[in-house]
Each structure stands twice: as C-alpha cells, then as structure tokens.
Amino acid sequence: MTGHKPDFADLLTLDSVDRDIFRGLCHAGAPMRAFGGQVAAQAQVAAGRTVDPDRRMHSLHGYFLRPGRTDSPIVYLVERIRDGRSFTTRRVSAVQDGETIFSMSASFQLPRDAEETHQLRAPDVPGPENLPRWWEPIDEAPEFRPFLLIDIRSSRSPAGRTDGSRATDGTGRATGSPEAASAAPESTAGDGMPRQNVWVRVDQTLPDDPLLHVCALTYLSDLTLSSTAYLPYAGLPGRLDIVSLDHAMWFHRPFRADDWLLFAQDSPSAGGGRGLSRGVFFNQDGQAVASAIQEAGLFRR
C-alpha cells in the first residue's frame, strides 16, 4: 500500500462547536461502521478539553448504544458533573443524526504521591523485538489504512496450550479442527480461561500530551480485547459476529502509547450471547500502567 501515513493524532482531532460541544469524524472499520475504539477515544478528548490540564484521567466507563457511521460527523456533548479539589467528573454523549450512539463517564484526578503501591506481575512472554507483526490484514485491506499507524506483535502459542492460553495461528483464529475447538474450554489448563498476550504501540512518535496517550491507549485496547472471549469458538462452523457493548478502563501509572506495551488479556466468562474480556497493560519495565474490561455480544450466523 502506498501513500502518505496520516498522523495518529489526526484520528482524535475534534472541532470546537460551542462551549462543551465538539465534533469529529471516524474512519471506516466494518463497512460504514465507525470503529468503537475511536469513538471512545474522541469522547475522552472531548471530556479532557473541559478539564484543567493539570488533572489526569484515571478512569472511564462507556456504553456502545448504537453503531456509528463513517459518512456523518459525530457530535460530542460534555456535561460538567463535578469539579472538586482532587477529582473532576465529566459525562459525554456521542450523538449522530439526533441519536446517542455512545455514552461515557470519565474521572480526572490531580496527581499525587502515595506510599501505598502494589501491582500484578507481568507475564513472562517474548519481547516485541523477537516477534513478527501480527495482524496481516492491516497491511492488505485499504479500509484498515489508519491501522498502519499501529504495530501489534503476538507470541504464537505452540500446539496445545501455554499457561492456559488457547493455541492460535497468529491471527486470533484457533488452530486444529472444529472438534478440538469445541473441546477447548474443558481442556484448557489451569483455571480454564482463554488468554492472549500482545504487544501494542502507536507506530509513530506522539506529542508529549498525557491526555493524548491515555486516549490512544483506549483506541489500542479495543483492537484485540473482545476477541479474547471469541478464542475458544473461532474454529466452530458459522460466522461469529462480535459487537462491543461496554468498555471500562483505569489508568494506574504514567506511560507513553508510542512505547511498547504488553496487553495481557483473558476472558473469565461467556454466556447468554455475551463474552467478558479483561486485560492489563504493562510497560517494558514490567509496571502495570492500565487495566481494561469489555463485554461484547457474540452472535453466531
């Protein structure tokens, strides 16, 4: 594919329409459907534009209510819920053609030092420099042009399973026969959860704006998280559609989204047509910098 790479920051750029009202456009994901990670990240940008710059976003909780389209602008309406001495709260509604397609609450905090600290240990996986780029369709399909700004690396599980992970062929699809796939939940080692570990980063240098890096990580998290719940069923007959229902994130420590981050993901449950996935981002020093949880609809055709 040839042509000029756009700046990743352009994907999150919003126009100011009025006080607490912003407007943005989304690139194509599924045919004519806006990529949910971009909608959530733009909503974060809108919220952050109404908050003092010395405050840092530490959490968000969002619901995907309707699919967004790529041929019409999205308007972001920000409500100023609270401005406290330490914490600031905002609510954002993403509206397209008069209908709310996404709703989010976000909380910001004035940074402070605290003695209390503990964190999950990072899994022992190969580093990104020893792994191939993972999502080959990114390089082949024109509709994924914006994803050329993203680098994703994945360790390919050997036949069988490692640390309870589902064996994959490197694209998220399960290896082996449909019969083996159907038996995977029962034969998975340990606690029975499907797992995947991927290294991600924005594949260009970003400005030193902490809000941009937080929003970029939300964008990155939506690329692979819901597919974790899908892993045990990938080899079964028929087509399984995955639709994000809600998304929550917590930001624990400073990080840069243009540095390699390990996204360790698992899925503790799937049932009732919904799959729950969760993940923790680690920097290359092994520090847990952010957590994410998402529930997605799993619909077989």
Domain boundaries along the sequence of the chain:
8-110+130-300
The residue-averaged pLDDT of 215-241 equals: 85
pLDDT score of 101 more than 80 = yes
Classify burial at 76, counting beta carbons within 10 Å of its beta carbon; exposed 0-12, middle 13-18, buried 19 or more: buried
pLDDT band at 160, cuts 50/70/90? Answer: very low
SS3 145: helix
Mean pLDDT of the chain: 82
Within 108-174, where are the H helices? 137-140
pLDDT score of 291 more than 90 = yes
pLDDT score of 286 more than 50 = yes
pLDDT band at 234, cuts 50/70/90? Answer: confident
As a whole number of angstroms, the distance between CA 233 and CA 237 comes to 9
Say which residue the tokens 């998975």 belong to.
188
Q: Which run of H or E residues covers position 212?
A: helix 210-224
Question: What pTM value is reported for the model?
Answer: 0.85
pLDDT score of 173 more than 70 = no
Q: Which of 108-112, 254-258, 286-290 has the lowest mean pLDDT?
A: 108-112
Task: Fill in the amino acid letter for 150.
Answer: I
As a whole number of angstroms, the distance between CA 299 and CA 135 comes to 23
Task: Fill in the amino acid letter for 161.
Answer: R
Of 110, 99, 42, 30, nearest to 70 (Cα)?
Answer: 30
Q: What is the CATH number of domain 8-110+130-300?
A: 2.40.160.210
Q: Which residues form the catalytic set? A: 222, 244, 294
SS3 121: coil
